[in-house]
Structure formats: C-alpha cells, structure tokens
C-alpha cells in the first residue's frame, strides 16, 4: 500500500518530537495511531495514561470488527439477522451484535470507563468499582449502516468519549446526559475499501488507515479540514412526500441551476451515515436526515450518531445542527433520543438553516 507522500497543505505541523520523522521520510509512513495518542498524552500535565489505554482498546476492537467485516460471508456465520429487534425497534443484524459485544468487552474491561451506552443496549451499562471502573464514559453506535452489510457497502462504528463529571462512584444522569460540547474526543472507524480510523480531539481531526498486513493504523490524513462550501447534497429523497414544505424548499434550493453559487449540486446518498459523513468531511457538501411524518424527531440518534459526528465535523471547521439548534448545544434528556441532522460544510449548513427558518 503506497502512503500518500504529499503532506496536505493545511496539515497542522507536528510538535518537534515527531518533526524528526519528517526528515527524508514522509511522516505518514511512520506515525501510528498509538504513537499519536501517546504523543498527545505527553502534552497533558499529570496525564495518567488512562485515556491512552482507553483509545488503545477502542482501536483494537475496531481492528477485530474490521477483520470480521472483511470476511463476512466466508468467516463465522456473521451475515444476516439475529431474529431480534433492538430498543429502536430495528432488526438486529448479527454483525450489530458482534460489534456491540466486542466494543463492550474490550472497553468495559479496560479499567478506564465507569459507563458505556450503546445504540444496541436499552440501558446504560455501569461498570462497578470492583470491576475496575474509570473516569470516562464511552458512547457508541457499534455498527452504523447495518442494512448495507449484506450488500458489501461501507459501514462503520461511531463513538464519543466524555469525562465523568460528578464526584463519587455513582454514575448519575448528570454524568450520562452531558451536552455534546463536553466531549473529550470522538471518532469513527469506517470499514470500507480500506479501514480508516478518523479521530477528533482538541488538536483537530486526523485520519489513520489500517495496513492489514501489519495490523497497524498509520497516519494518512494529518489535518482534516472540511471545505467551507461543497458541491453535493446527501439526503434520502425517497422520503420527499413525508417532508414538511420547508425541507422540500431546502432540497429544491440545492437542485436549482445557479452558476454563481455552483448549483445544481450533485446528489450522493449511500444510506450509511458514517460513509455519507466521511465523504462530506473530506469533500464538503451537506448531509441531511430531516424530520418527517414517520419520524417527527428524525431517525438518527443524538448520542450515538449526531453528537460524535458533529464534534468531528465542527473540529474540522464545519457545522452541525438539527435545522435550528447546534447539535453540540443540545442537552440530552433520554439515552436513545432522536434528532434531525444537517451536517457538513459551514456555508451549506447555514444555507439550509436560513431556508429552514423562513416561515
């Protein structure tokens, strides 16, 4: 696998310790995700290494799931449905369950988290002190895009990391229902033509690509910034008849001919949120999953999809809202709360919000 030797123009320069890697060799060939996380740890006075351990378990779980996804259909009987439905009322795919149990096992045993909430678990899982509890809270959509598993379309895992806010061993609602702007970090693994791990912390957004021969994630996208405006819109137009008028006006706006503003935009819709947002993050544009008559609060989950992806896209210079409110400003009230999602290039999301606000 050839690494992209060109350091992207707007990549954020590394601190001295990693600059040495640049001499004569592209830093992308030498910087692993583990090295990057350890390097970040050194910047925090009094860092205990707990976050590094947590991230280590997350990336190992991602490698395990990636390995199964890449041989689904020939490996263990992992395709198809479990015959069960989850708290969302959705049919659970075997790979949903496999990914959920893999991340719960590795993260839950890491001794770094006091609670895990998952799209596939009705209630939060609280890790008792005597089982090695820690100061972080891990939230995840263990497998996003499940309906695409059997047809070999890219799918992924989306996650958020918060710090426990309250003192004492008990995990309270105050710990579990924090606003998205309280996140310590967020990321996703995308199991596609290659497996990538995209990760945002307070230093920006970086992408790491898995070298399947070495089993290591190597830095491949050192400083991801989303273009201020894109040229594609991404929405399931099959729901058009269920939309309210102002949503129809937004989509019609992006379809109108207007050279000055680069319209009409192209339509791209994969039906796997992590893939649609990954393309939007790298190329620009807008992804929308609006409310409709069937889903008055939209289909996507605030905690497990909108909040982590909003953190990542905003860290890359983009914007994410429910059409009116910034996603990261919303204080959650339920574990599985749903929310309409408009996410992507700042100018494009602001255009959608402007039309949305017109009566």
**CB-nearer residue toward ligand AHG: 16 or 89:** 89
Residue 196, token pair as written in the block: 């990538």
**CB-nearer residue toward ligand AHG: 301 or 346:** 301
Q: How far is the CB of 27 from ligand AHG (least distance, A)?
A: 33
Element (H, E) at 136: strand 136-144
Q: How far is the CB of 343 from Mn ion (least distance, A)?
A: 13
Q: Give the span between the Cα atoms of 254 and 260, in whole angstroms.
A: 13
Site size toward ligand AHG, by CB under 6 A: 12
Q: How far is the CB of 326 from Mn ion (least distance, A)?
A: 21
Residue 271: closest CA among 154, 106, 122: 154
- Which residues, 6+ apart, have CB-to-CB distance to 112 below 8 Å? 50, 51, 53, 54, 57, 134, 135, 136
Burial of 179 (0-12, 13-18, 19+ CB in 10 A): middle
Residue 206: closest CA among 176, 177, 178, 185: 185
Q: Of 80, 204, 271, 317, which lies in the binding site for ligand AHG, with binding defined by CB under 6 A? A: 271
Residue 194: closest CA among 173, 213, 181: 213
**CB-nearer residue toward Mn ion: 118 or 232:** 118
Q: Of 35, 182, 236, 337, which lies in the binding site for ligand AHG, with binding defined by CB under 6 A? A: 236
Q: Under DSSP, is residue 104 helix (H, G, I), strand (E, B) or coil?
A: helix
**CB-nearer residue toward Mn ion: 55 or 302:** 302
Mask for 159-198, x = binds ligand AHG (CB under 6 A): ----------------------------------------
Mask for 108-147, x = binds Mn ion (CB under 5 A): -----------x---------------------x-xx---
Half-sphere exposure (Cβ direction) of 247: Cα atoms closer than 13 Å: 23
**CB-nearer residue toward ligand AHG: 5 or 242:** 242
Binding site for ligand AHG (CB under 6 A): 90, 119, 141, 144-146, 236, 271-273, 289, 299
């Amino acid at each position: 696998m050839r690494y992209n030797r060109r350091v992207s123009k707007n990549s954020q320069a590394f601190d001295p310790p990693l600059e040495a890697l640049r001499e004569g060799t592209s830093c992308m060939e030498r910087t692993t995700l583990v090295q990057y996380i350890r390097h970040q740890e050194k910047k925090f006075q009094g860092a205990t290494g707990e976050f590094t351990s947590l991230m280590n378990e997350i990336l190992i779980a991602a490698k395990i799931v990636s390995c199964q996804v890449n041989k689904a259909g020939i490996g263990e009987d992992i395709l198809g449905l479990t015959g069960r439905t989850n708290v969302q009322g959705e049919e659970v795919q075997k790979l949903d369950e496999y990914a959920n149990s893999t991340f719960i096992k590795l993260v839950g045993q890491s001794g770094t988290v006091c609670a895990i909430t998952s799209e596939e678990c009705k209630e939060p899982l609280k890790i008792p002190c005597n089982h090695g509890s820690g100061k972080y809270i891990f939230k995840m959509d263990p497998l996003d895009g499940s309906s695409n598993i059997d047809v070999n379309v890219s799918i992924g895992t989306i996650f958020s990391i918060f710090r426990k806010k309250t003192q004492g061993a008990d995990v309270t609602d105050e710990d579990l229902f924090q606003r998205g702007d309280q996140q310590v970090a967020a990321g996703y693994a995308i199991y596609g033509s290659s497996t990538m791990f995209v990760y945002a912390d307070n230093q920006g957004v970086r992408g790491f690509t898995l070298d399947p021969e070495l089993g290591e994630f190597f830095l491949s996208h050192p400083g991801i910034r989303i273009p201020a405006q894109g040229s594609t819109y991404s929405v399931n137009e099959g729901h058009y008849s269920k939309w309210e008028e102002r949503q129809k006006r937004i989509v019609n706006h992006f379809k109108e001919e207007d050279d000055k503003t680069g319209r009409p935009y192209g339509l791209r819709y994969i039906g796997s949120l992590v893939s649609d947002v990954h393309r939007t993050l790298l190329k620009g544009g807008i992804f929308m999953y609006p409310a409709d008559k069937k889903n008055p609060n939209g289909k996507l989950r605030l905690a497990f999809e909108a909040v982590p992806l909003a953190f990542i896209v905003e860290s890359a210079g983009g914007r994410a809202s429910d059409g009116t409110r910034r996603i990261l400003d919303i204080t959650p009230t339920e574990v599985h709360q749903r929310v309409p999602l408009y996410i992507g290039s700042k100018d494009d999301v602001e255009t959608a919000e402007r039309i949305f606000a017109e009566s």
